[in-house]
Structure 1
Amino acid sequence: MCGRYALGVTCPPADDPKRLAYIQQHLQDQGMQVDEAPDDDEVRETYNFAPGNFGVVYRADITDKGSYDHQQDADSEHQTKTSENEDNVSSNNKPEDSMAIKYKLQSMKWGLIPFWTKRQPDYGSMMRTINCRDDSLIEDSGMWTSMKRRKRCIVICQGFYEWLKKGPGGKEKVPHFVRRKDGELMCFAGLWDCSDEKLYTYTVITTSSNSYLKFLHDRMPVILDPMSEAMKKWLDPGRNTWSRELQSILKPYEGELECYPVPKEVGKVGNNSPNFIVPVDSKENKSNIANFFANAKTKGGSDPSPKKKTSPKMKMVKGEDSRLTKDSEWSEDNAPKPVPAVKREHSPKAPGFTEEVKKQKVNSDLTGLSPQRKKLRSATHNSPMKKSSGIKAEDGSLRITSFFKK
């Protein structure tokens, strides 16, 4: 966990219509430095954000190799300060850093691909790196080593989904949405990387669940508060050595959260609706059957007859996620797993497809015929025809099978 979250941020009509500009302003209002933001079309806006999509990541604006190299920076800084001292010998001003640190929002693909990967990983491999367990970072070795030292980031979202297993064998899965109680944007601790082809990818770090979410799942994302000391340390590009101090940041969230059931339609990645982050029993949820009857009673003055419960209105737009989903036993979450699309040799609309189907149908019909020829009556010898032995049922009527006998 997490295997699905919400990033359907919509700004008020009176504000800047750009969603990323709205997120940037929102974070800046919380004291976070945001010097750059991507365009809206670089990030998928959906209340049902699944692995493989491009999300919003907040990080220090440094090179693709990651945090600063102290030795190289020290040499560069020494040369810069030496030159400055020669030009400003009499200056009493305090020396300033040769390079001011900037922070930015960036579009990245969910599912980390390490830079040292020689070939493009398959879909299954990518799905295994959407999360990174905190305990896998304790030892200073393994696939996450370079990322945890030099490429730490924050993943921005509205909250995340988790599926509660119920019923015999846990076959029934009820989706729940988890968000901050104050309604602010949620910040996950994450790691990022970049390939030679400039493909930026990220993973969400998970830890043990806090007492509030134990009933739902035993794992949860590492959540950091904006401008907290923990977040500052996590994003500090000057820290390029993994330490106990950084490891201690990865712990269950101690702040207040809200968790409640949401519509089951969120299980399919192609569905998208604002109702997905609204409690199913809330007055704000238009799909709530209780609200339907209450509204009808107010308008008509009497209780209406029961009608079929309507599903949440889905927001389907061009380019929406069309992948299928299937239940899978994940190590980190119970979210239905998106599966890659399967390419067909012939599209139902492709030329020749209809003719091919018709030919197959005709051939199958012909193969079903009996190979025996029908006996013909002689034109010169009028032998009497055999009468059907129409076997009668007990009530005297012929059985239906007698009509098909030759």
Structure 2
Amino acid sequence: MEGKLAITVTTEELEQHLNIQISFQDKNKFLKEALFNISPSNFLPVVTNMDRNSVRFMKWGLIPSWKNNSKNSKGLTSISLSSFEGKPLLLNALDKHCIVYVSGFYIWKNSVAGKIPYYITSKKRKLFGIAGMWECWETDDKNQDSFCLITQKTNGPLSYISTEWPVIIKEEKESEWLASTSSELMNEENFSPEYDFNYHPVNQKIIKSIENNPKFINRITYVVGEQTNLF
């Protein structure tokens, strides 16, 4: 799945949602301001199945623990649920599963005008959790936590945009999902349906830009072969 993420809530709202206090050091390093343009290799707040009472800031782009050098590796950014079907060894990797917290995400739609990004948010929640896998890459002098998102096939309104979208855990099921064994994680009763989400087209600049611009989440209008309302 091609896309980016956003966190537009305050650190206080994040702490309140998780009922977990985030250290001043992490706030100052990772969440000094709202983040409207989160790309792979950036760090996001994650709660893991092995430590459900703390927030860890992990690098987006899962690096396998056996990798010799993570410096030049982009890592795996997402993996589809369909990849686990009939593959017990891969399913075992879900022993390290996590929830990645965001306010919204971007997905690209292919069109005659090129790739058109859409920004997607929950109709009910200012913050929601995306299912993920995580890993700790270890060297003699440091540890690097990283994660990838778990995606699923679209079969509702979002199929207009893409064939895949993130697996989003229902808020009331988050604790239960984190405590699940790998064989129980695929229960779709834990997943939020597509109709719980709003979406609208946004500026194409988000695709390649590294700028943290709040205007990236604003709706714009596209016509065939042309983009209007640019900033």
- In the superposition, the TM-score normalised over structure 2's length comes to 0.82
User: Which has the higher Rg, Structure 1 or Structure 2?
Assistant: 1
Contact 2:169 2:191 in 1 (8 A): no
2:42 to 53, 57, 63: 53
Cα deviation, 1:337-375, whole Å, max 9, x if unaligned, reads: xxxxxxxxxxxxxxxxxxxxxxxxxxxxxxxxxxxxxxx
Report the counterpart of residue 212 of structure 2 in structure 1.
Answer: 272
Matched, 1:232 2:175: yes
- For 1:23, the aligned partner's letter is L
Report the counterpart of residue 145 of structure 1 in structure 2.
Answer: 92
Contact 1:152 1:234 in 2 (8 A): no
- For 1:34, the aligned partner's letter is I
Report the counterpart of residue 135 of structure 1 in structure 2.
Answer: 82
Cα deviation, 1:202-261, whole Å, max 9, x if unaligned, reads: 110000013110110110000112122xx233211xx4x431x32224867255111111
Report the counterpart of residue 378 of structure 1 in structure 2.
Answer: none
1:222 to 153, 158, 167: 167
Measure, in 2, the Cα distance between the counterparts of 1:47 and 1:278.
11
1:188 to 124, 127, 130: 130
Report the counterpart of residue 248 of structure 1 in structure 2.
Answer: 187
Task: Report SS of the residue matched to 1:123.
Answer: coil
Cα deviation, 1:25-77, whole Å, max 9, x if unaligned, reads: 1x14xxxx425556223326520100001111123453xxxxxxxxxxxxxxx
Task: Report SS of the residue matched to 2:177.
Answer: helix
Report the counterpart of residue 104 of structure 1 in structure 2.
Answer: 54
- For 2:170, the aligned partner's letter is D
Aligned-pair identity (%): 26
Task: Report SS of the residue matched to 1:119.
Answer: coil
Task: Report SS of the residue matched to 1:234.
Answer: helix
Task: Report SS of the residue matched to 2:15.
Answer: helix
- For 2:88, the aligned partner's letter is D
Measure, in 2, the Cα distance between the counterparts of 1:51 and 1:260.
22
Quote the offset at 1:274 in angstroms: 1.3
Measure, in 1, the Cα distance between the counterparts of 2:92 and 2:49.
18
Report the counterpart of residue 260 of structure 1 in structure 2.
Answer: 200
Quote the offset at 1:136 in angstroms: 1.8
Contact 2:44 2:58 in 1 (8 A): yes
Contact 1:207 1:252 in 2 (8 A): no
Report the counterpart of residue 105 of structure 2 in structure 1.
Answer: 160
Contact 1:188 1:222 in 2 (8 A): yes
Contact 1:193 1:200 in 2 (8 A): yes
Contact 1:210 1:252 in 2 (8 A): no
Matched, 1:210 2:197: no
Superposed, 1:304-343 pairs within 5 Å as 311=231
Measure, in 2, the Cα distance between the counterparts of 1:133 and 1:257.
20
Quote the offset at 1:272 in angstroms: 2.1
Measure, in 2, the Cα distance between the counterparts of 1:164 and 1:261.
9
Does the C-alpha gap of structure 1 residues 226 and 189 become closer, same or farther in structure 2, counting only changes over 3 Å? same
Contact 1:42 1:107 in 2 (8 A): no
Measure, in 1, the Cα distance between the counterparts of 2:55 and 2:164.
27
Measure, in 1, the Cα distance between the counterparts of 2:84 and 2:176.
16
Quote the offset at 1:176 in angstroms: 0.9
Measure, in 2, the Cα distance between the counterparts of 1:182 and 1:2.
24
Measure, in 1, the Cα distance between the counterparts of 2:213 and 2:83.
35
Quote the offset at 1:119 in angstroms: 3.1
- For 1:233, the aligned partner's letter is E
Task: Report SS of the residue matched to 1:260.
Answer: strand
- In the superposition, the TM-score normalised over structure 1's length comes to 0.49
Superposed, 1:118-129 pairs within 5 Å as 118-120=68-70, 122-124=72-74, 126=75, 129=76
Task: Report SS of the residue matched to 1:39.
Answer: helix
Contact 1:265 1:271 in 2 (8 A): no
CA RMSD, aligned part only? 2.5
Does the C-alpha gap of structure 1 residues 226 and 50 become closer, same or farther in structure 2, counting only changes over 3 Å? same
Q: Highest relative contact order (Cα 8 Å, sep 6+), 1 or 2?
A: 2
Contact 1:36 1:103 in 2 (8 A): no
Cα deviation, 1:152-196, whole Å, max 9, x if unaligned, reads: 1111111111122111xxx61211111111242121001111122
Task: Report SS of the residue matched to 1:182.
Answer: coil
Which blocks of at least 5 consecutive residues in structure 1 are unaligned?
12-18, 63-101, 282-287, 290-309, 312-406
Report the counterpart of residue 306 of structure 1 in structure 2.
Answer: none
Measure, in 2, the Cα distance between the counterparts of 1:181 and 1:268.
27
Matched, 1:22 2:9: no
